[in-house]
Amino acid sequence: MQHIVMFSAGAGSWAAAKVVAKRFGLKDLRLLFTDTLMEDPDAYRFLIEGAANVFGLDLADKMNVPSHTEFPDFRDRSKWRLYLHELRAQVSVHMPQLIWLKDGRDVWDVFFDERFLGNSRRDPCSKILKRREADRWLTKNCDPHNTICYVGIDFTEAHRFDDGSGGGLGPRRALEGWRYEAPLCSEPWMAKWDIMELMQGENIAPPRLYSLGFSHNNCFGFCIKAGHAHYRLLLQTLPDVYSYHEQKEQEIRAYLKKDVSILADRRNGNRKRPLTLRAFRERFEKDGNNATGDSDYGGCGCFTDQSVLTE
C-alpha cells in the first residue's frame, strides 16, 4: 500500500505525516507538495526541514536549508523562480521522498491566463496549481486500489473532511475512486496547539506566518479567499507583500477592464460592492481598525473546500 500525504508546508500536514509514518513506517510513504511559486520563504524552509524530520534524515552536511533571509526578493520573479528551481533540484537529490510539484506559474499568472480573478467560491489558483497537479501525479504514479492519501485537517475542522451528509473531501474523493483519510480527525486527536508542542519537541521552528497571526501557511500570507481581517493582518505584518498584491490587483483590473476586486465592501448595510486592496489600505490608513471592522478572516483550504474537485 502506498501512503501519500498532501504536504502543504503547514503544521497540520506535517503532523499528519508524522502519524502516518509512525503507523505504517517510511518505506511506502511519500509527501506531495504542490508549489504555487509564491510561498513564504520560511514555508519552504519548513517544507524541507519538516519533511526531513518525518523521514529521519539529517540534511546538514548534504545541502543548505535556507532561512527566509537567504531568499531573493520575491518581487524579482525571475530570480525568485530560479532560486526555487535550484532548491527543488537539490531536494530531489537528497530527499526524493518529498515530491515537489509545480505547474510553473504562480497564482497571478493563473488569474491572467484564465482572465479571471479568483474569489472565495471559484479558485482557479488552487484548482490548477494544486489539485490538478496533485491529481496528475497521483494518476500517473499510483493505483487507487493500492493507495491511501492523507490530509492535515484536524478534528476542529472535521466537517471539511466529511460533513456526514456526503460532503467534504473524503466522500468526494471516494466517488472518484480515491481513498482519502484525515489522521488528525481521529486518535491521537491532535489540534493545532498539540502540533506546535510536538514541533517544539522535535526542535523544528514553526512556520513564521503562524507567529505573525496567520492561521494558514499558504501563499506567503495571501489568499484569494481571505476576508478583511486577514488582509488587515497582511498589511500590518507584511506590508511589502500586501503592496505587491495591491499592484497586481490593479494590473488585472486594467487587463480585464472590469471592476473586480479580491475584497467586497458590505459596510452600512450596502449591497456587496468591489473593494480593492488599494481602497482598503487607504481606508485603513485614514480610519484604522474602525474602517476595516469586518472580522472575517476567510481562509484557505486549497485541497479541501467545497469548490475542490467539482470544477
Residue 101 neighbours by CB under 8 Å, 6+ apart:
32, 33, 34, 35, 133, 134, 136, 137
Closest distance to ligand SF4 from the beta carbon of 245 (Å) = 10
Closest distance to ligand SF4 from the beta carbon of 95 (Å) = 24
The HSE-up count of residue 253 (CA atoms within 13 Å, CB side) is: 15
Give the length of the chain: 311
Q: Which residues of 219-234 are buried (b: 16+ CB within 10 A; e: fewer)?
A: bbbbbbbbbbbbbbbb
Nearer to ligand SF4, 87 or 219 (CB): 219
Nearer to ligand SF4, 32 or 65 (CB): 32
Dihedral over Cα of 13, 263, 128, 40: its sign: negative
Nearer to ligand SF4, 21 or 234 (CB): 234
Nearer to ligand SF4, 148 or 214 (CB): 214
Nearer to ligand SF4, 45 or 225 (CB): 225
Dihedral over Cα of 167, 173, 174, 180: its sign: negative
Report how far apart, in Å, the C-alpha atoms of 82 and of each of 71, 72, 88, 89, 104 are: 11, 10, 10, 11, 11
Closest distance to ligand SF4 from the beta carbon of 186 (Å) = 26
Nearer to ligand SF4, 190 or 300 (CB): 300
Closest distance to ligand SF4 from the beta carbon of 224 (Å) = 4
Pairwise CA distance, residues 242 & 72, whole Å:
17
Nearer to ligand SF4, 179 or 253 (CB): 253
Closest distance to ligand SF4 from the beta carbon of 215 (Å) = 11
Structure-derived torsion over alpha carbons of residues 51, 53, 56, 58, reported in degrees to the nearest 10: 90
Nearer to ligand SF4, 263 or 302 (CB): 302
What does the block give as the cell for 146? 493500492
The per-residue DSSP string of 77-126 comes to: HHHHHHHHHHHHHHHHHH-TTEEEEE-S--HHHHHHHHT----SS--HHH
Closest distance to ligand SF4 from the beta carbon of 117 (Å) = 11
Closest distance to ligand SF4 from the beta carbon of 43 (Å) = 11
**SS3 category, 185:** coil
Say which DSSP state 48 is in: H
Pairwise CA distance, residues 91 & 62, whole Å:
10
Site residues (CB under 6 A) for ligand SF4? 36, 107, 123, 125-126, 129-130, 218-219, 222-225, 300, 302
Closest distance to ligand SF4 from the beta carbon of 87 (Å) = 19
